[in-house]
């Protein structure tokens, strides 16, 4: 992985879509990567979801610069971070609504000390309060009843990055009073036109 200058690197959160062979509906997954531009991540996105083939596209993306009152920056692995227990987490909540034959999803990024704190933050969301499995009579669950969310869907961002990224870079979280809200880019983006 070629190292870029410190200021040019960004953390991207990308919603990928694919109409994979043999599927009846479009499927989605989230990809996280460090690069100077979204275009630079295209080869890694293809490697992340190879079975998607030519149907792989982007349905939305975000340059992650601010989460929960913290500025998010990428720095070289060789640079020393100030000691902190705070980590950046990605959470994908799944829930149900009566009368709908589908699982609703809600994703969030949060800065917390550990996985347990991240799950508690998820429980405070409006989505969790209105879509938890416990509120749907007769619904069976694949969800951890202790927390009401799928434990496999709570990830430290560091664990979702490619090994070549974490070998060279790290995420710095800096408390900030007035950080701008990250812009969300939605739409159908073909990888060859980024």
> What's the confidence (pLDDT) of residue 7?
64
Which of 176, 172, 162 minimizes the C-alpha distance to 40?
162
List, for residues 61-91, the tens digit of each pLDDT value. 999 999 999 999 999 999 998 888 899 999 9
Hey, what are 85's tokens? 């227990």
What is the pTM assigned to this prediction? 0.86
Task: Establish how many alpha carbons lie within 13 A of residue 70's alpha carbon, considering only the half-sphere containing its beta carbon.
Answer: 19
> What's the confidence (pLDDT) of residue 29?
96
**SS3 at position 106:** strand
Contacts of 71 (CB under 8 A, 6+ apart): 65, 173, 174, 175, 176, 179
**SS3 at position 100:** coil
> What's the confidence (pLDDT) of residue 140?
47
The C-alpha torsion from 171 through 176 and 178 to 181, rounded to 10°, is: 20
Hey, what are 10's tokens? 């960004």
CB < 8 Å & 24+ apart, contacts of 107-112: 107/30, 109/13, 109/64, 109/67, 109/68, 109/157, 110/67, 110/68, 111/67, 111/68, 111/69, 111/70, 111/86, 111/87, 111/173, 112/86, 112/87
Percent of the chain with pLDDT over 90: 61
Q: pLDDT-based confidence at 147, cuts 50/70/90?
A: very low
Listing DSSP states for 40-76 in one string gives GGHHHHHHHSGGGGGG-EEEEEEEE-EETTEEEEEEE
pLDDT at 151 over 50: no
Q: pLDDT-based confidence at 18, cuts 50/70/90?
A: very high
List, for residues 84-127, the tens digit of each pLDDT value. 889 999 998 877 777 888 777 888 999 999 999 998 888 787 77
Q: For the chain, give the mean pLDDT.
A: 86
Contact 64, 41 (CB under 8 A): no
């Amino acid at each position: 992985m070629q190292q870029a200058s410190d200021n040019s690197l960004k953390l991207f959160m990308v919603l990928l879509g694919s109409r994979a062979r043999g599927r009846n509906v479009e499927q989605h997954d989230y990809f996280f990567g460090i690069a100077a531009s979204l275009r630079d991540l295209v080869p890694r996105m293809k490697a992340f979801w190879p079975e998607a083939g030519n149907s792989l596209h982007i349905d939305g993306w975000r340059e992650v610069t601010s989460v929960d009152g913290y500025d998010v920056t990428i720095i070289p692995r060789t640079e020393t971070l100030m000691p902190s227990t705070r980590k950046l987490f990605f959470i994908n909540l799944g829930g149900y609504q009566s009368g709908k034959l589908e699982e609703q999803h809600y994703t969030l990024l949060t800065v917390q000390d550990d996985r347990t704190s991240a799950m508690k933050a998820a429980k405070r969301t409006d989505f969790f309060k209105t879509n938890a499995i416990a509120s749907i009579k007769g619904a069976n669950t694949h969800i951890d009843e202790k927390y009401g969310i799928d434990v496999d869907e709570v990830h430290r961002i560091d664990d979702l990055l490619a090994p070549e990224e974490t070998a060279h870079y790290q995420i710095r979280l800096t408390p900030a009073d007035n950080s701008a809200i990250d812009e969300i880019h939605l739409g159908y983006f073909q990888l060859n036109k980024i």
